Amino acid sequence: MKKLLPFAFFLATFSIFAQDTIVEKVEIIDLKKFSFSGSVDAYYRANFNAPNKAFDDGSFAAPGSSFANLPGFALGMANLIASYEGEKVGFVADLVFGPRGTDATFASPMYSMTGDILNQLYVYWNVSDKVTLTFGNFNTFLGYEVISPVGNFNYSTSYLFSYGPFSHTGLKADFALSEDFSLMLAVMNPTDLTEFNPTGKYAFGAQLGYKGQYLNLLTDDGAYEIDFTGGFNITDSFYLGVNAALYDGDGTGFAGGAIYPQFSTSDNFTIGLRAEYFVEDGDFGAIGTGVDDSSVFAATLTGSYSIQNLTIKPELRLDSASDDSWYFMDSDMNPQKSLSSFVLAAIYAF
């Protein structure tokens, strides 16, 4: 018993010391700087001049752009984002579940069985007030639109967004050159290889920003994309967004432009139009005609009504191609030149 008493006293003393140490380490991390956010979305979609069901081969008539293409009542995705924003360092873990998330990550089947749920996963270091380094998987810096429906005015997406890159994995450096100018430089895996690099080749990116207008460049194994993204507040209630891009992929590519006029009629309701012209170089495959140098004009009229954290978006869309497209099939499975459709989406952000 006498031999056990000193040992018991040592354990009690070590326990108190360990508890004090743990408390001190926890206090270093400010729990208030942790945040949890995200969104949930679902929609209803119907064609006016094409069937609203799957054909025998499993295909269905829909625009050639990404997301919001499933017939009837359909699911978007659940987006869960955990982050820590410290004074110098932080991280973002962005998870997606559902059809929109799978389309955005291409199911990432290269290595991880759970790769299809990772939209973004990166750490960052604020080296100074003017320099930030980001390391990991982050959404693309090109284009006007983004993967999350919360970040877009229109619910369906453009051709320019759909056929540019979605995400990159690598290292980027952001520089605040002045109050108005910014610069970003990046070295990354080849486009869409977000889990690891099986090729030994790398892509390079750059972005020059001036007062909310951005000129972007991406080079990737001989291919390149130049992109301009910007917008202007014409009045307090009228905004005009602009996007233009040129992609050359060694024999095939695309070019196009889109404008996004948006008019706020009240604090809760805004109406906006996306008018886009997209043309292929060769048979790029985005329009689905099988004909070289096809083009498409897509006009999307969207209303946006907010009720606290919930946004309701009714949307009319007309896609008109220069040639018959197998994306726009009629009830007899014959390709046609145009497709008109309606979408009603509900998005909850938290």
Domain that holds residue 295: 34-349
Q: Predicted confidence band at 250 (pLDDT cuts at 50, 70, 90)?
A: confident
- 229 within some domain: yes
pLDDT over 50 (residue 310): yes
pLDDT at residue 269 in the model: 98
Which pLDDT does position 113 carry in this prediction? 62
Domain assignment present for 190? yes
Task: Report if residue 102 sits inside a domain.
Answer: yes
Tell me if 268 is assigned to some domain: yes
17 in a domain, yes or no? no
- Amino acid 184: pLDDT: 98
pTM greater than 0.85 (yes/no): yes
Question: Where residue 5 falls among pLDDT bands split at 50, 70, 90?
Answer: very low
- Domain of 166: which CATH number? 2.40.160.10
Number of domains, the chain = 1
Residue 92 counted as domain residue: yes
182-212 CB burial, b ≥16 within 10 A, e <16: bebebebbbbebbbebeeeeebebebebeee
- Characterize the bridge pairing of strands 72-85 and 34-47: antiparallel
Res. 140 pLDDT band, cuts 50 70 90: very high
Residue 265 lies in a domain: yes
Distance CA 276, CA 256 (A): 7
pLDDT digits (tens, 9 = 90+) for 9-60: 444 444 444 444 444 444 466 778 899 999 999 999 999 999 999 888 888 9
Average pLDDT over residues 148-167: 97
Q: Rounded to the nearest 5°, which phi and psi values hold at 37?
A: -145, 180
The three-point CA angle 318-323-324 to 5° equals: 75
Is 198 a domain residue? Answer: yes
